[in-house]
Structure 1
Amino acid sequence: MYRLIVLLLLAACAPAPKTVAVGRYRAPDAPIYSNAVMDQNRLVGQWTQVAAFGGAACKPGGAEISKGAGGLQIRYRLCESGVQMAGAGPMSSEVVGRFDVPGQPGPWWILWADGDYRTLVVGSPNGRLGFILNRGPFPADRLKAAKDVLEWNGYDLRQLTVY
């Protein structure tokens, strides 16, 4: 019994694990679909974050995707749920348009890419992340299309911050 009390006291002194507060930005019962016909190699390049859910509390970021020997690699700094998230590593994918990205609160599903791969809408089935990446000019018609895709996949657009 004495050992149990000592162990409990030691456990109480241990620092709490760091966690990132994440929101739920989509209806849990809403269907969500990823882009299953995309050319993942066209994701390579520099991307700028132009919108995010819960993004009013931090500055927009971006991502650089490159092709390595083992597949796609990413280096990113993004505003997600009001928190700056940064990381780097492989973008592993077993299904086209769906990626596991290091340090993320859920998988990245590419919900939509415009025909020229200038705009990406990224979401997650768990609803804990959602953002729009772009390269080059970001005209109003692509913003409208991106918002339509997010809404169609169950996202609450009232929580979307457009930078």
Structure 2
Amino acid sequence: MKAWCALIVVAALTACTAKPPAPGYRDDSPLSITTRDDDKRLAGDWQVRGYYPGDDALQQVAFLPEWQGTPAFELVTRSCEDTGDCEDVGEIWRAKSLGPNRWTISGPHSEAERELWVVWVDEGYRTAAIGAPDGRYGWVLDRTAKGGADRIKAAREILDFNGYDIGAMILR
């Protein structure tokens, strides 16, 4: 009986000292990246089909593997006036490779940085799950603005498997 009581006390103390979840939209479980590594196929325009709060204005992401001799990403955001007039504005974020399918991207007008990982891309390079390893953001990207529901679902499932809170993700 004393052994059982001691076991319960140890279990309770362990639970009290458990590490809290990491900030952002994912827990601190190990993050995987896709083994599909083809910059030419990854290059081009991607429509943002899923995002987390804070990236509401983000409409498109384009991977530019050779922009002025270096990789870069163009992030296109929508800016709207009080009158209802809206405009899409693209900004080039320079990219520093951290290895296959991983970059640190730097904003053009500030010290803003994001770490961008390709967590998954389908075989046809039509849909991708993108995320930050610290969980600050995650995106579901697709080559088209509509359709591909099965691939969008798969991208969300991959993010979920990698510890992202897909319940917080907003879909377009």
Same fold per superposition (TM over 0.5): yes
In our comparison, the structure showing a higher alpha carbon Rg is 2
Q: Using the aligned pairs only, state the percent identity.
A: 28
Determine if the alignment matches structure 1 residue 117 to structure 2 residue 125. yes
Tell me the alpha carbon deviations over residues 120-140 of structure 1, each in whole angstroms, 9 at most, x when there is no partner. 110111110101111135322
**Contact 1:40/1:96, CA 8 A, preserved across alignment:** no
Cα distance in structure 2, aligned partners of 1:78 and 1:130: 16
Q: How does 1:64-79 map to 2 (within 5 A)?
A: 64-68=62-66, 70-78=69-77
**1:146 matched to which residue of 2?**
155
1:91 deviates by 2.2
**Contact 1:51/1:160, CA 8 A, preserved across alignment:** yes
**Contact 2:72/2:93, CA 8 A, preserved across alignment:** yes
Cα distance in structure 2, aligned partners of 1:73 and 1:106: 12
**Measured at CA, do residues 157 and 94 of structure 1 come closer, stay the same or move farther in structure 2, by a change above 3 Å?**
closer
Q: Please provide the CA RMSD for this pair.
A: 2.6
Tell me the alpha carbon deviations over residues 5-33 of structure 1, each in whole angstroms, 9 at most, x when there is no partner. xxxxxxxxxxxxxxxxxx61001x21111
Cα distance in structure 1, aligned partners of 2:140 and 2:30: 19
Match of 2:141 among 128, 133, 136: 133
Report the AA paired with residue 127 of structure 2: T
**Contact 1:106/1:126, CA 8 A, preserved across alignment:** no
Question: TM-score under structure 1 normalisation?
Answer: 0.72
Report the AA paired with residue 48 of structure 2: Q
Question: TM-score under structure 2 normalisation?
Answer: 0.68
**Measured at CA, do residues 37 and 114 of structure 1 come closer, stay the same or move farther in structure 2, by a change above 3 Å?**
closer
**2:82 matched to which residue of 1?**
none
**1:102 matched to which residue of 2?**
106
Q: How many positions carry a matched residue from both structures?
A: 135
